[in-house]
Amino acid sequence: MVPDEFSVASVEAASVDAFRPYAAFLRSGEPYTSIFLNNPWLLPPKAGAELEWGQGWYYDTTVARKHDYWRNIVLPTPTKDLQQLRRNLYEWGFCLLEDGLSSEQCARIRRRVEDQAAAERALGIAYLVESQQHVWSLVNKGADFVGLLEHDPAAVQAGPMIERLLDETLGPGWNHFSLLANISYPGCHPQPMHQDQTWIAPINTGEAPVLLNTMYVLQDVNEHNGGTLLVPGAHRANGTPETGLYGPLPKPINLEAPAGTVLMFDGRLLHGGAVNHSDDFRYVLTNSCVKPWARQQENFVLEVSPEVLANASDKLLWRMGFQSSITAGLVEGYGYRGTGRQGDRVGSLREVRRELDRGYHHVGELSMDTIESVDLEALSLMRLQRENEEFRNNEHIESMAKLNDFIASRQRD
């Protein structure tokens, strides 16, 4: 007989007006509750609705130098000065790397993205939303995208500088969250304003972001063709304990930057895709990077093609989340002794993916009663262990037998 306290009805009854210390926080809807309460002009347009101009909506804006509020405030402009970039990123939540892509790199990547996006539309497999076409899994769609994920100077000349800012902001060992193309259409809707680290809401990290986004600007962008909307400085909560996380905010600007600029922005910065008033598409790439414990937006371990996997550098694998360790990415226990670091074989999920591609055989339910019938050679885990776990030597395996002998002798006594 199950004790009555455990019944669904009893659990319900014991939960009325109960001590639930986290309930209000979990239901708070922050940071958006205080953002929209104190700034109702930030509410997004309804799906399919006509956009309204001259009424103060967030998307009805312009670049900083033409903006009533921002024109007299010194905001980040494109620079190659690393000291300046650090300060801009900290103070305003974003910075702009001048000529982060060379003109050749920018033109080459833009051509590849345009062609890929057109082909996905032609086949009817593209991903469209009201504000943008997204091209996902770029890792499989061209060598330059692999180069971007590795911050290889052959693909992005500012690679070493971008990597340094990532290391300093997220700490070492960060992973890629995603790499995609964001293509806005002529006359598209704006995106709702958001923080890219929304997936941890209502947790709001005051000290540092858990996500840093790198945007590759593939043509000149401005207020006309949909330069991304940014609220400078809105990576820091500005509310009081009485009003919530956010109080009244200044209006956003449109990003103004020449082709080849690399925008890096804090995962807490309020931003959104802008309206494209031009008669052409607007192309940017976004590459978010996150703390290594975060679940990634793109499931790179499943997504990466066998061909890309076969040629993947240790660095690419590491950044895509292929290095497991005691707290992350274990498969049937394999990876527990991994370090999570680049090139560590004991924690490499590349070997697991190869087994999966071949047809993985799981360990499943075992019993001493049927131990003789187990085909050890058929288990994928056994192959992974044999090929990668150096610590699994004869002595280690004998120690397991000794433990079984010990238990058997205890049972005899």
Residues that bind Fe ion (CB under 5 A): 196
In 10 A of CB 60, how many CB atoms? Answer: 16
How is residue 168 written in tokens?
Answer: 């300093």
Residue nearest to Fe ion (CB): 196
Please, what is the minimum distance in Å from the beta carbon of residue 39 to Fe ion? 18
Q: Mapped to the 3 state alphabet, what secondary structure does 290-358 carry?
A: ECCCCCCCCCHHHHCCHHHHHHCCHHHHHHHCCECECCECCECCECCCCECCCCCHHHECHHHHHHHHH
Please, what is the minimum distance in Å from the beta carbon of residue 196 to Fe ion? 4
The number of CA neighbours under 13 Å toward the Cβ of 113 is 29
196 versus 298: smaller Cβ distance to Fe ion = 196
230 versus 331: smaller Cβ distance to Fe ion = 230
Mapped onto helix, strand or coil, the DSSP state of residue 48 is: coil
209 versus 340: smaller Cβ distance to Fe ion = 209
The residue with tokens 């199950």 is 2
Please, what is the minimum distance in Å from the beta carbon of residue 284 to Fe ion? 11
Please, what is the minimum distance in Å from the beta carbon of residue 131 to Fe ion? 11
Please, what is the minimum distance in Å from the beta carbon of residue 288 to Fe ion? 8
39 versus 213: smaller Cβ distance to Fe ion = 213
How far is Cα of residue 285 from the mean position of the Cα atoms in its chain?
13
Please, what is the minimum distance in Å from the beta carbon of residue 228 to Fe ion? 8
The residue with tokens 């009485």 is 242
Please, what is the minimum distance in Å from the beta carbon of residue 7 to Fe ion? 45
273 versus 347: smaller Cβ distance to Fe ion = 273
144 versus 196: smaller Cβ distance to Fe ion = 196
Mapped onto helix, strand or coil, the DSSP state of residue 167 is: helix
Q: Do 226 and 188 touch, CB atoms closer than 8 A?
A: yes
CA distances (Å), origin 77, targets 81, 94, 257: 11, 10, 8
Q: Do 144 and 101 touch, CB atoms closer than 8 A?
A: no
62 versus 197: smaller Cβ distance to Fe ion = 197
CA distances (Å), origin 341, targets 11, 131, 292, 395: 45, 38, 11, 27
